[in-house]
Chain A
């Protein structure tokens, strides 16, 4: 399967040039680029690990690409990596755009757990197959 979180998961994987164009868009909007990674892609896992602090003062997407390369070297294809733009302006103060820029080669996906309740009710839980293993050891490189 292919996890389709983020803004561009239905497009073919982005090339570095394409990632750079979107990073520059974020910078030109006055937002801060942020890189995060995880090997627990549960849809409710809000807090991915931060790759250093958000790049509040970076004005050139080339610098973002250097950070992205470093993040890839450290965490390779055993993690998901996402790039987001954070807008600190009043009334928003949250993420403006977020998309996946790196993912493991194979994505086994999620199992849907069911617990039978009264009145045909099901209590559902979504669990990544990979999550059975400890953090850092979940996806093969």
Chain B
């Protein structure tokens, strides 16, 4: 149990009555219960709490429990009209964060009845609502959550799921390959479709709109959809493979989004995409639409770094990943480790496990604080995107496995011989590496040699390896699980 158990025993009886008018410490109001054993049906959250100087960590943690459940700043007699003992969130454990003086992990259990079934918006309004602005705290971060099976079962989950997505696309046994069309802004619909056609014909499975491609003066959305679907269908006929292009339906209103989604469906697209910034309610609405309309739903996590990246304040991405699996998207960007964007290898492994496993055992090294049962909720395909190239194929497969979309944007479109050559280079590198892995070779050790051998029969791969062989992004991560206090370097 917690370090505080001996030093800070449960408070003795308050000096005055619990319901006398006035202000009372949160710990005395029932929000600190070190003897409480969370029930299987409780939702549990762990916060990283940084109290203001002079504020007792247990009182600060009790305040987090209070402000994220039933409390306000003063005693209210109307508590007595309710089963208030049940509804109060209970902080049951406070641990100092290793190697971080003045920072604490607070574990808080919430009664299931506090939450509306199947609503991420309701969950978020409680758990990350008012409490993040609470003055006695310098900073607050939601690190992880545990959801009871009864709660998980109130959500639809991913509209399609990894298995059915693979069946629909008829693609098994290897990561899917994608690329984001670049430049991300400025192409006309006609030129945009050219990039899509070349990339898909060259060997990619998917191309992707970027997060901020919606409907701008240089390219309105209907134009983009029409040209993209021309490209998809031409590439399908040229290769005999199912192809797709994530048509971004993010828009100002739900009515606009539904209109764009319907048009994508009419044109025969297998996939549409949304941005995280549309909000939890809109995401759940689109997930239901996607399930109704046999559509794969890609989520671009635009905006998440504003609150996931800094350790002391915000919401960990592992929580966002859990919420998005419940909310029902089919793809989520979850980090590359080796690419250009933030991502500690251990923490990233934790995100991938949240997306793809039916049961996550507690794994502090990977940042998973709790056992989590997913109760056969569909699996969610993680997407690795941003600054990755064919020369890293062995590392990517070793780190991320095969149920992942690898997106090489610059690594496809920036190929010296053109987009189709770039796509071919990536596909050959991928197939050669999966083949070698299955044949029993140690791809992490022999990866560069496997790529070089494959390049003998594929000039585009040789050119790709020559162009990008020395590119890597080795920076220390800002967000690492703190039970393993050292930063793990990217390979």
> Residues on A close to B: CB < 8 A?
1, 3-5, 7-12, 18, 21-22, 25, 41-44, 46, 84-85, 90-99, 109-112, 120-122, 124, 126
Contact = CB atoms under 8 A, between A and B. Distances in A.
Contacts of B237: 109-112, 126
Given A7-B173, A7-B434, A18-B435, A126 B163 contact: no
Given A98-B173, A99-B173, A112-B234, A3 B434 contact: no
25 contacts: A3-B239, A5-B241, A7-B172, A7-B435, A10-B427, A10-B428, A10-B431, A11-B431, A11-B432, A11-B435, A11-B454, A18-B435, A21-B439, A21-B440, A22-B439, A42-B240, A84-B172, A93-B163, A98-B173, A110-B237, A110-B238, A111-B237, A112-B237, A121-B226, A122-B229
A95 B166 contact: yes
A10 B424 contact: yes
A97 B170 contact: no
A119 to B, nearest CB: 8
Most buried by B among A10, A96, A97, A110: A10
Contacts of B163: 91-94
Nearest to B223: A120
Contacts of B167: 94-95
Most buried by B among A7, A98, A111, A126: A7
A10 B438 contact: no
Contacts of B173: 7, 85, 95-99
B242 A44 contact: yes
Interface in B280-298: none
Given A18-B435, A22-B435, A124 B240 contact: no
A22 to B, nearest CB: 5
A5 B170 contact: yes
A43 B236 contact: yes
A43 B242 contact: yes
Contacts, number: 109
B268 interface: yes
Contacts of A43: 170, 236, 240-242
Interface string B130-171: 000000000000000000000000000000000100110010
A18 B438 CA distance: 10
B476 to A, nearest CB: 36
Interface string B405-440: 000000000000000000010011001101100111
A84 B166 CA distance: 14
B174 to A, nearest CB: 5
B170 to A, nearest CB: 6
A42 B427 CA distance: 21
A11 B428 contact: yes
Interface residues of B, number: 39
A42 B438 CA distance: 27
Contacts of B376: 91
A127 B487 CA distance: 54
B222 to A, nearest CB: 8
A116 to B, nearest CB: 12
Contacts of A18: 435, 439
Contacts of B440: 21, 25
A121 B267 contact: yes
Contacts of B267: 121
A43 B238 CA distance: 11
Contact of A124 (B268, B427, B432, B438): B268
B8 interface: no
Nearest to B164: A94
B233 A109 contact: no
B240 A4 contact: yes
A3 B431 contact: no
A21 B237 CA distance: 31
Contact of A5 (B240, B424, B454): B240
B240 A25 contact: no
Given A7-B434, A121-B226, A124-B233, 8 more contacts: A1-B240, A4-B239, A7-B172, A7-B431, A8-B431, A41-B240, A96-B172, A109-B238
A109 B404 CA distance: 29
A110 to B, nearest CB: 4
Contacts of A9: 431
B95 interface: no
Contacts of A4: 203, 239-241
Interface string B339-362: 000000000000000000010000
Contacts of A84: 172
Contacts of A85: 173
Contacts of A92: 163
A119 B360 CA distance: 49
B170 A46 contact: yes
B230 interface: yes
A120 B226 contact: yes
B233 A121 contact: no
Contacts of A124: 229, 233, 268
